[in-house]
């Protein structure tokens, strides 16, 4: 079974803090993704990566950065957290090739910024 893990299930941070969200997958997937999920807005893509050290902006990259130094790990960084970044953050990964589009999700990190 594909396993995608996220470093924290719940996180509380203060405005202005630097926040790191970690995601690890154990299936040698090429692609990794970070989404945020808010009520009424669905899933919105923040950043994705299709290879080590490669990254692409998604639909809402502002206020975020990412790092992919190893194939299995994809980190989302909030340089200076703000209250409007309070949200559920979901990491996903997928193979390349024919099954490219089938993404497998982690359990999510619920971040609260005070």
Chain residues in the site for another protein (CB under 8 A): 4, 31, 33, 40-45, 48, 50, 56, 58-59, 90, 92, 98-108, 110
Please state the closest distance from residue 50 (CB atom) to another protein, in A: 5
Report how far residue 1's alpha carbon sits from residue 98's, in angstroms, rounded to the nearest whole number: 18
Question: How many CA atoms, within 13 angstroms, populate the side-chain half-sphere of residue 14?
Answer: 0
Whether 5 and 106 have beta carbons less than 8 Å apart is answered as: yes
Please give the biggest Cα pair distance in the chain. 43
Shortest reach from residue 80's CB to another protein, in Å: 25
Answer whether 92's CB lies under 8 Å from 43's CB.
no
Find the shortest distance in angstroms from Cβ 59 to another protein. Answer: 4
Nearer of residues 58 and 63 to another protein, judged by Cβ: 58
Nearer to another protein, 51 or 79 (CB): 51
């Amino acid at each position: 079974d594909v396993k995608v893990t996220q470093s924290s299930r719940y996180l509380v941070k203060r405005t202005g803090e630097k926040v790191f969200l970690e995601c690890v997958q154990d299936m040698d997937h090429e692609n990794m993704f970070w989404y945020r999920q808010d009520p009424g807005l669905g899933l919105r893509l923040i950043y994705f990566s299709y290879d080590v050290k490669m990254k692409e902006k998604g639909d809402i990259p502002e206020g975020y950065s990412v790092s992919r130094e190893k194939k299995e790990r994809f980190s989302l960084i909030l340089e200076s957290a703000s209250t409007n970044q309070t949200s559920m953050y979901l990491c996903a990964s997928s193979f390349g090739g024919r099954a490219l589009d089938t993404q497998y999700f982690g359990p999510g990190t619920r971040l609260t910024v005070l």
